[in-house]
Amino acid sequence: MNIHSSRCRKIVSLSTNSNAEFMNKPSTSYYNDEKTVISASDVSSDEYNDSSDEWLPFNSKEGNEIETDSDNSFNNSSTKLTKFDDLFQEEKKIIDETEIKLVIKEILDKIENDNAIVFEENTLPESDVELCRWRRGNKMKWKKAISAKEKKLSKTPKIVDCTNCKFKCSLNVDEDYRIKLCSHFWTLEYNRQKDYILSCVTQAPVKRHVSEQVRKAKEFSKMYTFILNSSEKVRVCKQFFLKTLAISHGPVDKAFEGFENGIFINNDKRGKTPSKTKTPSDVICEIKSHIEKFPTIESHYCRATTKRKYLDPTLSIAKMYELYLEDCKSRELDSKYFICLTVYRNIFCKNYNLDFYKPKKDQCLQCETYKKLSKPQEEQIINNYENHIRRRDESFSAKQLDKERASNNNNFCSATFDLQSVLQIPSSDVSSMYYSRKICTYNLTLYEAAPPNRAFCFLWTELNGQKGSSEIGTAIYKWIQQLSENITEISLYSDTCSGQNRNQFVAALFLYIVTHSRIETITHNFMESGHSYMEVDSMHSTIESAKKNVPVYTMQDWLTICRLARSNRHNKKCSNYTVQELKYTDFLDLKSLANMIMKNRSLDMKGNKVNWLKIKVLKYEKNMSGVIQFKYNYSDKEFNIIRISGRGRPTKFPDNLKNLYDKPLPISALKKNDLMKLCKTQAIPEEFHEWYKSIPSCSKKKETVILSESENDSD
């Protein structure tokens, strides 16, 4: 904005200060009839920033020095003070009132926009709240910031003795008004404080110099004033002015250093000096590049509410730091790149929203949330928690009763099943493995409750199938086919994952089994969400312990590890896990079965809507063909009934089930490239290269989420 200097001073002087009642009169500037005077106006701002740290201490030598020469120059009787109005009349410049208002609005809008830009730079949008691992703190709520703000607002005028002052400052300005002036000044933002100083202080070249200079002559002399009664300007001495505002002469000098076109244009430069110990930007870029080399996956359940991604569970920040140092050594980088663990951790946590996948089966979110409430007042919260605990106890009691019954009844079998967290091929301690995508391997484990507690592992890779309800149901069907001939009733326990266990597709399979086999009754029980620990979970920890320090390059390696995970050293009656690999030709299409036989799945016989996510028990009987019995609570005395055929003809089941896949599934092209790199660098032994090369890939294939769906329950 190009505005003539004198015109800008005239216009800015018309702006009023809305922050203080005693600053209502347009600020006026003065000039000496022999020398031009520099001036500025008071521009208010609601922003607040501490500016006292930059200024010199009030008790410094420079701050107490009195400008005697300059004071004498202003007391010359020939000196006349003239307002800018007179100056414009002398220059014969007439400014229309409308034009003045427009320019004033333009100036204030510019100041407002500048403040908005600064605010936007320091404010993070809501969409970026979760972009880092550590929570972002609000600096304005820090004790340090609050203390600084309180210190500013508690500023009071300093004691000054002006009884012998030629301006009689103490008589012209009372103590209450000094307190108001000081309080108003310290509510202003940094730039507005400088504008206020410029509106009260005028500067002119020194008119008279002493011939013999003891010290360096000053180029300018200053005149200090305060406004009284919104109209009258009162001349005060330097010490009275500075001590009234509780400042030193440093802020005055800074104000005139940044003076241009009637306002203070400089910015607050405190804290802008770069730190000598700060990590160089190229080193930070190198660390970020290393972190981004590790493949990440999304959370299965929380991806709708969080942007957090997960790294390999075998990794940690310390392990990643060690890999970073190894990478720097191999590339022979400069010593500046060998930073400490603290720097690496800070960059990792402040720039990335990453975590390391670790199952948390034993932690119930609802219970932990309730415990954090000091004194729950709402009756609904208390009732929900009590019902949650009741369902938990009922599920454990039912499982224990079935366990005892299975031990005493040869015709009854009780078992628990769960999908283990995803295993990977290949897997070893070679550092390049951590940077590569790997083939996902799924393991459905099943544990029989009655001695000798037979345990089964059904494994397949992502080349043969996914981990949906059809794959889970097929593995259970394979187990049922291996039961002894005397078993006629089965009771199964699982978590409440609706994508794998509690759905219409698995229900259709159980209906098919009781219709086409010797099994007369199948009861499927669901543990309470957050408390789904079962005996089968012990198999997972046993397999993970057996895997430690054992490299895996093919599916056969995992089969061997699972087969030898349990030994009979401590229990002679137990045997090794029964391990079976499933191929793509083994999986059954349960979705097509459900679409064929289940015409009704949403209404019970009473016409009520069925809430599948709240069902706790599902029962299927041979003598009730085409009927699903269910209960919402273990304690319910009667079962509700779903007639899958609706009101039509009796359900007709197919004689044979269709296969789910007709060929192996491809992996993504990115994953195939990573595997080929591992072969090229000999991270994978040469004898396995041909198998990895034969794996089909597809450029449109999405990355497989490696988190187990049984990590959390889906209620």
Interval 494-526: pLDDT, tens: 988 887 888 999 999 999 999 999 999 999 999
Burial 340-364 (b: 16+ CB within 10 A, else e): eeeebbbbbeebbbbeebebebeeb
Q: What is the reported pLDDT for 73? A: 39
- Number of Cβ atoms within 10 Å of the Cβ of 134: 12
Q: What is the reported pLDDT for 704? A: 53
Q: What is the reported pLDDT for 211? A: 59
Q: What is the reported pLDDT for 498? A: 80
Contact 665, 596 (CB under 8 A): no
**414 φ/ψ angles, rounded to the nearest 5 degrees:** -120, 135
Q: What is the reported pLDDT for 689? A: 95
Q: Tokens for 166, please give them.
A: 């030629």
**Residue 335 DSSP one-character state:** G
Q: Are strands 521-526 and 489-494 parallel, antiparallel or unpaired?
A: parallel
Q: What is the reported pLDDT for 490? A: 96
Q: What is the reported pLDDT for 161? A: 85
CA distance 238 to 68: 10
Query: Hey, is 501 helix, strand or coil?
Result: coil
DSSP lists the bridge partners of residue 222 as 203
CA distance 153 to 138: 20
Rounded-to-10 torsion of CA 482, 488, 493, 496 = 100
Residue ranges of the chain with per-residue pLDDT less than 50? 1-97, 100-101, 103-104, 108, 111-112, 114-130, 300-304, 360-362, 705-715
CA distance 42 to 63: 23
CA distance 176 to 183: 11
Give Cα separations from 689 to 210, 683, 694 (angstroms): 95, 10, 9
Tell me, what amino acid is at 381?
A: I
Question: How many residues are present in the chain?
Answer: 715
User: How many angstroms from the chain centroid is the CA of residue 22?
Assistant: 47
